[in-house]
Amino acid sequence: MGEQFSYGGQAVIEGVMMRGPSRIAVAVRRPDGEISIHQQEISSVLQRYPILKLPLVRGSVAMVETLGIGMKALMYSANQAMPDEEQLTKGEMTLTTIVGIVLAVGAFVVLPALVGVGGRKLGLGDVAVSSVEAVLRMGLFIGYLAAVSLMKDMQRVFQYHGAEHKVINTYEAGDPLTVEHARNHTREHKRCGTSFLLYVAVISIVLFATIAPPNFWLRVPVKLALLPLVAGVSYELLRALGKYNNRLTMLVSRPGMWLQGLTTREPDDSQIEVAIAAFETARGHGLPG
């Protein structure tokens, strides 16, 4: 018997996207209460070019693919959940994504590097500067998640995030995929993207402190060049933690699962129903006629 496929997904606007072995499915609760489902066959570049499946390489490739799939899922969900006059165009969604990436790089890479330059001018040594940058980067990351979690609209998205986890946990536990069974499972999951982002933050702190040069104009480009390696290492760690279940993996996973307390909320039954619809479609069951 082959290895069980590791299902994954993400919360979208009033819905959930699930990714299966050969298709993705987005289920959205429309304003009229009906569930709209979009499914699409997918073929990962990792399958077409086996060399990209090498450890450390596959993580960066998977991250780029996931970003593209997630953007399309968000656009579909927004256009299903919102009135016609508020629907987003592809160009608007692309621009929003690009702006978000630029702001993230500015906040988590450029800003700490600028603070580091200021610290050196004040006479701080390399260890002290790296420590200040690390504290700032981690504080910005956790602070951002905490601030977003207070937004009313995002709290509904985080409920769907919790529903996504509950449904995947139900499947992986071997329980029937029903609302009643899913309700009893945890909204935490070791393979969550929130945990991945935490590992990216921690691993980048270690690599940047040991490799990045002190000069600002060299430090920022080197940090940007190291991001694919950071993503690759983080992906391998997340993959290993999801594959094995023992005291060590639970201990290492715990900080990421604690952080999911900010990015998930307890879903209601109707939201779990949407997540089940997406999951069943992604695995090829119960496809709409």
- Model confidence pTM above 0.95: no
Q: Highest-confidence range of 146-150, 239-243, 277-281, by mean pLDDT?
A: 277-281
Averaged over 67-88, what is the pLDDT?
A: 80
170 Rama sector, left if φ>0, alpha if ψ -120 to 50, beta otherwise = alpha
Least confident of 108-112, 272-276, 282-286: 282-286
Mean predicted lDDT score pLDDT of the chain: 88
pLDDT higher than threshold 60 for residue 147: yes
User: pLDDT over 90 for what percent of the chain?
Assistant: 53
Q: What is the pLDDT of residue 210?
A: 81
Q: What is the pLDDT of residue 16?
A: 97
Averaged over 11-36, what is the pLDDT?
A: 94
